[in-house]
Chains A and B, each alone.
Chain A
């Protein structure tokens, strides 16, 4: 690897065990709900049971009469106090922004919409009192489905968004697509529903606010993937508190999957209530509240048209999508079905003409925003599911159809027809490797033999690309993002040579305390135990954009790497001064500076660190101390890619699917810790497979969530899954000095299509061309046996 300066160093690329696991698996993690402050009070929310209703009157007298109740606060109180609505963080031309108040004023727009808050001496008193708050509603017809919401005469979700349209967004050359479609040999058409999902992090959302009147300072502990973004938006836009008077701490966070990026009503309420009451206020979601109020994911209805010439080459792609954004726009919502979706439609393929048309709709449902992969799983599913439909229609093997359309290795950097320029890639080796590892011809032979004997094996491929390492700030700024997406990294060397790193990335499962320490230890020649990684505290870390979009390694890691070079460089100049040599004659290896050619003239990194702080003998123009800050702003996204293959068996008697094998061949560029990357993949594959087979949020036509608990929302269980097989190709990314790409979302992005394709491949003898997900036994059996069934 070109970027590491020490020959023989091997920490980058080693499966070092996770430093943080000791505290997690012994129950010593410190999560928001574990923090208890003197005089702490507890919040419980009064939530709307209706999906679309006018609030006529809120009567809190019975609740206020309960002993232990400190206050009952409403949206009107908040508005009167000057608290602003929560803004979305990404805008499109013509976007209709519905007012998103932390506590509803006048009207509720989804079941679970917060209407009032009770602050009490204990959680159970707060809950009891919340049940006593009497809210008088006038219920209106509701709409939960986005396609229905866009139809004429649908119930209106917000008065200021006519026809429930949030925006219409288009990308690509519509005329070129029309022309290519007209001249094509064949056009494959498929309607696809990418169903709504609920993230379900193990740790429910929680927040604890403490206003210190003496210092006029507010501290908020919150389950956040990006505490600085929380501080910026809540402070500057919602609450009106300047940054230097507002500290946001995201301590250990138990999973996010995107759902903890956004600024939620409850944390705004708790922060404001603490200031209003002069007491710490804590709120922790129940699992039922998580289902109703954590931002949901996906929920697309899409029509794909893919045109081919007679050699099976794709000549054009048209994608028309209706995206359900729920009742309000949360932070990333406008970007997910657009810039994180439409731009990915070229996949690994050379598609000369593409047009994407997305209409986003308001509905009376929980807001929809980024969920692991955020737009890219939806794009991959649309493309890769259609490739399988096309392969069958064209009479080609699905692997062969993909191969014919791959972007050639000498075409990089490759400009797609949908804005992105892929920096690097070499797709065929990953396809070849995956097919070889699974022994594709043997599996196809097995499938044929099985079919003759009445067993139904299916083989599904998914060749994916994703754009992650979010993101070049100038590009996202020109596309409507209300902030840049760089990252900061401070490396502070202590006088003994020990290291503290302050990173704006945030770990909520990713293992930064280990992987970032590996980078430091390799660069400075120390051990990972000499390194402390600090994250998640705006009071300690200068700034940061947080963790999502598989950006921590490629952006946060690169910032850290930049600071490491700066401290090494200063150290080299100090060492040269002490060794009476020219800086360019001093090398650094194995934790020691030495004069080239005379290895006995040496100063250890610790000696140099001490010299930097003693400052008795530094070069004349040099400041004491040894610390550096870097803000890394990537020049482009990074583009991981790979090929995943799923093998399933369908029991045609019951429709039950067994996921027999799952193989992932990925290219993440250089890999810092293969074990952690495998772990990220495993979790992602489980979630993606779960979308294909088990998960799906369902609303009834009144906007009631039918799948509001783990009794009826099918999260994946370990017993449902095979041992995953993983392998990699390595094409380092040129956009960051580590040559890394993101690995946090790839599993989810690739696997849904692979598993769905496998099931539908198994069902091909029954003439079934497509079924929407989740591919439940009931759905599969009914398709096999016709709507009347019976056998």
Chain B
């Protein structure tokens, strides 16, 4: 498999990457881990004339604990995120979700920023971003802005990133006491991507669900929160019955089609089952 020919630029800094982006415009693509971009180029679905490699920018892959938030640099590799003691202890959902991506080869190359910017509707990390209520730091020609994950994924493979912008950092709020989280994924046997993936981050206070965020990947045009499930649960007593009632609303706001992966009825079913399973596990985790 041979991609069309292209020029390669190794950016030494975010500034340099942004300058190259400005210079080459639509002819350029940022290259992070290359594990979504290069396959697409080999299949000749994309043929950028310039690749701007951001994988060598010092410190862009740093992971740090900022107290209220954990900061993960855009080029942090999946394997490093999944193994990071900071991530594992402070925002365990991110570690759990990241460990579900592909296989070790993929996790050794792919980056958190690349996965989020690529916004594959079946990728794992976007569901985690939504469940965690993460913010995404975007650097552009006119400075830096921060976009909530809720506003970032806008359509199929489409995000709030504007031409000339790059994602530099993921900011993940650290959940408070009584929190629990879980990720339940049904992988496609061929690709390993999610047929459905449900990420749940919730907090239980005095036996009631104080807050809950449910991120879904796989069953829609883009990763999205399951508002019906969240509103059914918020404020209710943390119970199996409440979970069952909430899971029944997993299909709210989604529309399912029959395709090679299964019938619409089947997809609605697995949405409900996986929401229930994720909620059960997150609830159990919140208890300790």
A interface vs B, CB < 8 Å? 123-124, 127-128, 131, 286-288, 653-656, 693-694, 698, 706-707, 710-715, 717, 720, 776-779, 781-782, 785, 787-791
CB of B49 closer than 8 Å to a CB of A: no
CB of B189 closer than 8 Å to a CB of A: yes
Known: A694-B190, A720-B189. A778 touches B263 (CB 8 A): yes
CB of B245 closer than 8 Å to a CB of A: no
Binds A, one of B154-162, B173-181, B265-273: B265-273
Contact status A288-B4, CB under 8 Å: no
Residues of A within 8 A of B186 (CB): 654, 656, 777
How far apart are the CA atoms of A375 and B179 in the complex, in Å?
57
Number of interchain pairs (Cβ within 8 Å): 78
Residues of A within 8 A of B262 (CB): 776-779, 781-782
A288 to chain B, nearest CB (A): 7
The residue from A653, A694, A790 contacting B189, defined by CB atoms under 8 A apart:
A694
The residue from A131, A720, A785 contacting B265, defined by CB atoms under 8 A apart:
A785
B203 to chain A, nearest CB (A): 27
How far apart are the CA atoms of A274 and B93 in the complex, in Å?
58
Contact status A790-B260, CB under 8 Å: no
How far apart are the CA atoms of A436 and B160 in the complex, in Å?
62
Contact status B191-A711, CB under 8 Å: yes
How far apart are the CA atoms of A288 and B1 in the complex, in Å?
9
- A–B Cβ pairs within 8 angstroms, 8 of them: A288-B43, A654-B270, A694-B190, A711-B193, A717-B189, A782-B262, A789-B268, A791-B272
Contact status A789-B265, CB under 8 Å: yes
Beyond contacts A124-B2, A653-B273, A714-B189: 18 other A-B pairs, Cβ-Cβ < 8 A, are A123-B2, A124-B5, A286-B42, A654-B186, A654-B270, A712-B188, A715-B190, A717-B192, A777-B186, A778-B263, A779-B262, A781-B262, A781-B266, A781-B269, A787-B265, A789-B263, A789-B268, A789-B269
The residue from B1, B190, B266 contacting A711, defined by CB atoms under 8 A apart:
B190
For A124, A693, A710, A778, the residue with the greatest tally of chain B CB atoms inside 10 Å of its CB is A778
Residues of B within 8 A of A714 (CB): 188-190
How far apart are the CA atoms of A655 and B2 in the complex, in Å?
39
By Cβ-Cβ distance, the 9 closest A-B pairs, closest first, are A778-B262, A789-B265, A714-B190, A714-B189, A124-B2, A711-B191, A286-B1, A694-B189, A778-B266
For B42, B44, B260, the residue with the greatest tally of chain A CB atoms inside 10 Å of its CB is B260
Contact status A790-B265, CB under 8 Å: yes
How far apart are the CA atoms of A720 and B269 in the complex, in Å?
23
How far apart are the CA atoms of A655 and B266 in the complex, in Å?
9
How far apart are the CA atoms of A782 and B192 in the complex, in Å?
22
For A288, A693, A694, A781, the residue with the greatest tally of chain B CB atoms inside 10 Å of its CB is A781
How far apart are the CA atoms of A787 and B4 in the complex, in Å?
46
How far apart are the CA atoms of A706 and B188 in the complex, in Å?
15
Contact status B273-A654, CB under 8 Å: yes
Contact status A712-B260, CB under 8 Å: yes
Residues of B within 8 A of A123 (CB): 2
How far apart are the CA atoms of A306 and B44 in the complex, in Å?
52
Residues of B within 8 A of A715 (CB): 190
B262 to chain A, nearest CB (A): 3
A700, closest chain B residue (CB) = B260
For B4, B44, B193, B262, the residue with the greatest tally of chain A CB atoms inside 10 Å of its CB is B262
B257 to chain A, nearest CB (A): 13
Contact status A710-B2, CB under 8 Å: no
How far apart are the CA atoms of A730 and B2 in the complex, in Å?
50
Chain B interface, DSSP helix/strand/loop, else mixed:
loop
Contact status A782-B2, CB under 8 Å: no
B236 to chain A, nearest CB (A): 22
Contact with A along B255-288 (1 / 0, CB 8 A): 0000011110110111011000000000000000
B239 to chain A, nearest CB (A): 20
Contact status B265-A782, CB under 8 Å: yes
Contact status B190-A782, CB under 8 Å: no
Residues of A within 8 A of B269 (CB): 653-654, 781, 785, 789-791
Residues of B within 8 A of A128 (CB): 4-5
How far apart are the CA atoms of A707 and B193 in the complex, in Å?
16
Residues of A within 8 A of B188 (CB): 712, 714
Residues of A within 8 A of B189 (CB): 693-694, 714, 717, 720, 776
The residue from B2, B191, B260 contacting A127, defined by CB atoms under 8 A apart:
B2
For B189, B265, B266, B269, the residue with the greatest tally of chain A CB atoms inside 10 Å of its CB is B189
A289, closest chain B residue (CB) = B1
Residues of B within 8 A of A124 (CB): 2-5
How far apart are the CA atoms of A789 and B5 in the complex, in Å?
50
Contact with A along B178-213 (1 / 0, CB 8 A): 000000001011111100000000000000000000
Residues of B within 8 A of A653 (CB): 269, 273
How far apart are the CA atoms of A776 and B260 in the complex, in Å?
10
Residues of B within 8 A of A712 (CB): 188, 190-191, 260
A478 to chain B, nearest CB (A): 44
Residues of A within 8 A of B270 (CB): 654, 777
How far apart are the CA atoms of A789 and B256 in the complex, in Å?
13
How far apart are the CA atoms of A128 and B6 in the complex, in Å?
13
Residues of A within 8 A of B42 (CB): 286
How far apart are the CA atoms of A450 and B233 in the complex, in Å?
33
Contact with A along B148-177 (1 / 0, CB 8 A): 000000000000000000000000000000
Residues of A within 8 A of B2 (CB): 123-124, 127
Contact with A along B31-49 (1 / 0, CB 8 A): 0000000000011100000
B99 to chain A, nearest CB (A): 13
A738 to chain B, nearest CB (A): 40
B125 to chain A, nearest CB (A): 18
How far apart are the CA atoms of A782 and B263 in the complex, in Å?
8
Residues of A within 8 A of B3 (CB): 124
How far apart are the CA atoms of A71 and B263 in the complex, in Å?
49
Contact with A along B218-231 (1 / 0, CB 8 A): 00000000000000
Residues of B within 8 A of A654 (CB): 186, 269-270, 273
How far apart are the CA atoms of A584 and B189 in the complex, in Å?
64
Residues of A within 8 A of B261 (CB): 778
How far apart are the CA atoms of A714 and B266 in the complex, in Å?
19
B191, closest chain A residue (CB) = A711
A383 to chain B, nearest CB (A): 27
How far apart are the CA atoms of A280 and B5 in the complex, in Å?
24
A778, closest chain B residue (CB) = B262
A652 to chain B, nearest CB (A): 11
A23 to chain B, nearest CB (A): 22
Contact status B265-A706, CB under 8 Å: no
B159 to chain A, nearest CB (A): 22
A42, closest chain B residue (CB) = B2
Contact status A710-B191, CB under 8 Å: yes
B190, closest chain A residue (CB) = A714
A647 to chain B, nearest CB (A): 19
B39 to chain A, nearest CB (A): 9
Residues of B within 8 A of A656 (CB): 186
A719, closest chain B residue (CB) = B103
The residue from A127, A131, A717, A782 contacting B266, defined by CB atoms under 8 A apart:
A782
How far apart are the CA atoms of A183 and B265 in the complex, in Å?
46
How far apart are the CA atoms of A776 and B190 in the complex, in Å?
12
How far apart are the CA atoms of A602 and B149 in the complex, in Å?
85
Residues of B within 8 A of A720 (CB): 189
How far apart are the CA atoms of A331 and B230 in the complex, in Å?
60
For A654, A710, A714, the residue with the greatest tally of chain B CB atoms inside 10 Å of its CB is A654
Residues of B within 8 A of A710 (CB): 190-191
Contact status A788-B273, CB under 8 Å: no
How far apart are the CA atoms of A656 and B1 in the complex, in Å?
34
B251 to chain A, nearest CB (A): 11
Tell me the B1-47 residues at the A interface (CB within 8 Å): 1-5, 42-44
A198 to chain B, nearest CB (A): 12
A96 to chain B, nearest CB (A): 33
Residues of B within 8 A of A287 (CB): 1
How far apart are the CA atoms of A127 and B4 in the complex, in Å?
8
A287, closest chain B residue (CB) = B1
How far apart are the CA atoms of A694 and B273 in the complex, in Å?
22
How far apart are the CA atoms of A287 and B189 in the complex, in Å?
18
B240 to chain A, nearest CB (A): 15
